[in-house]
Structure 1
Amino acid sequence: MITIEALHNFPKIERKCNLGAEIIRTIKNEEFNIRDNDILCIASKLISKSEGLFVDLNSINPSQVALRLHQQIPRKDPRLIQIIIDQTGDKSGKELQISNNFVGGWLSNGLFLTSAGVDKIDADTAIILPKNCDEIAKKISDDIFDHLKVRVAIIITDSDGRIDKKGATQVAIGLYGISGLRKSQYQDKTNVETICDMLAASAGLLMGQTGKMLPIVKIHGIDYVFDKSATIRDAVN
């Protein structure tokens, strides 16, 4: 049986901290049962806050490219647009895709995310994604093993929208311990599923969006082989 369960009463993270230690402390305090080969899905905003990846919008001077794009998407603060451009690594804005009120960006690791993974958390502050979520996922998994002697896979998830659909879902942007792809054979055909996104979306059923305060979700009962070499790049074109 596959079960999905949120870790409750996790402390609100507002500054850089040792996230692995906070997770372990909460698991102990809540007597949260985790076992080998469980999968912990962790919201990217929690990761970013624990890494201290805050950006003061008042320090941002929008370029002419950002100001021009602001004319297309006036709901977006031009300073925020500049940060989105910066996250793609292309100052020309060519790594962005804009359609009506949607803006998405290609990151250097090959992922395409709404607003290039940039979130505005208050009037003067934005938050960006870490450069390597796989490394962070590995560190958290190793910390849990060192302190609790349980080997779990980690999937870092991000809220993401699509041009063709309303609302948002959850996708994987970093992982450790579980392959991003699941392959199966039927007759002479090989089927490939993006299992990391399927699991991220499943966790999203409990995580919800901003304000629900359930940033860590455990998935139990998935049959997989623990893979220390797995990275999100395996699932990216």
Structure 2
Amino acid sequence: MIQILPLTGISEVLPGDELIALLREALQRQAVDIREDDILVVTQKIVSKAEGRFVDLGTVTPCAEAVRLAETTQKDPRLVQVVLDESESIVRAAPGVLIARHRLGHVMANAGVDQSNVGPEKSEYALLLPINPDGTAARLSSALGIPVVISDSFGRPWRVGVTSVAIGAAGLPALQDRRGEVDRDGRVLKVTQVAVGDLLATAASLATGEGAEGIPAALVRGCRFVGEARPAAHLVRPADQDLFR
């Protein structure tokens, strides 16, 4: 049976805080003994905070392109400039919407630049994605002795509402390739690849939430996956395979 165990009692994370210690303390406080079928899902927000990925919008001077896009999207031109700085390209711009391809390859709103839950007294700050989420997941996984997924909220084409996806992963196959296996009728699976990292991220988000829940991590218990470990980077579809641009 699959269980989701929220890790509570983690205080506001600040730049320089050691996530390994904070997460280990949370597990010990709740008397959680790590099992072989446990996976720890950590939200991107506390990873970015610990890494100090804040930008003071008061220090940002928007360029002409940022001003133009800000007029189109009705967004703060300083925020748009930060999005441009984090992006490889702008995919779509419309009133209230700015979709970008982040430097890590993710196609997402505002290149992951976020102003929600950035902490008290930071209303003029924005928070960026971690520099190397797969690397951070590997460091956490090695220290804690458990597979780790770093999750973030994503919108999806043709669907309303956000789910969560894995932007970092270690110790598990973030993408599970089942091509070559057979179904119950003996038919060979030809295209089936399972986004395990995304499934785990979304399952955990039922506990971590999207608003003021204040739960930055959760343990998903009861999952076993076959296959070599693959980082979350394997979940990013290459640009030359993007049929919808």
SS for the counterpart of 2:42 is: strand
Task: Give the corresponding residue for 1:84.
Answer: 83
SS for the counterpart of 2:199 is: helix
Q: Let me know the Cα RMSD of the aligned residues.
A: 1.7
Aligned-partner Cα distance in 1 for 2:16–2:211: 19
Task: Give the corresponding residue for 1:180.
Answer: 174
1:193/1:28 CA distance change after superposition, 3 Å: same
Deviation at 1:108, TM superposition (A): 2.4
| CA deviation profile, 1:118-176 (whole Å, cap 9, x unmatched) | 1113431011011210110011111113xxxxxx1111001112353333211111100
Task: Give the corresponding residue for 1:171.
Answer: 165
SS for the counterpart of 2:206 is: helix
Task: Give the corresponding residue for 2:97.
Answer: 102
Retained in 2: the 8 A contact 1:156–1:173?
Answer: yes
Matched, 1:158 2:152: yes
Aligned-partner Cα distance in 1 for 2:123–2:193: 42
Task: Give the corresponding residue for 1:148.
Answer: none
SS for the counterpart of 2:98 is: strand
SS for the counterpart of 2:152 is: strand
1:116-131 superposed matches below 5 A: 116-120=111-115, 121=118, 122-131=122-131
1:15-34 superposed matches below 5 A: 15-34=15-34
Deviation at 1:8, TM superposition (A): 1.4
Task: Give the corresponding residue for 2:242.
Answer: none
Retained in 2: the 8 A contact 1:37–1:226?
Answer: no
Gaps of 5+ in 1: 146-151
Retained in 1: the 8 A contact 2:66–2:78?
Answer: yes
Task: Give the corresponding residue for 1:137.
Answer: 137
Task: Give the corresponding residue for 1:149.
Answer: none
- Greater mean alpha carbon deviation, residues 134-143 or residues 154-163: 154-163
Deviation at 1:78, TM superposition (A): 1.0
| CA deviation profile, 1:48-106 (whole Å, cap 9, x unmatched) | 001111111000001111110111111x21111110110014xxxx4342244222211
SS for the counterpart of 1:109 is: coil
SS for the counterpart of 1:173 is: strand
1:226/1:20 CA distance change after superposition, 3 Å: farther
TM-score (norm 1): 0.88
SS for the counterpart of 2:202 is: helix
Report how many residues are paired. 225
1:163/1:79 CA distance change after superposition, 3 Å: farther
1:174-213 superposed matches below 5 A: 174-184=168-178, 185=181, 186=183, 187-190=187-190, 191-213=192-214
State the AA in 2 paired with 1:17: D
1:28/1:138 CA distance change after superposition, 3 Å: same
Task: Give the corresponding residue for 2:58.
Answer: 58
Retained in 2: the 8 A contact 1:159–1:171?
Answer: yes
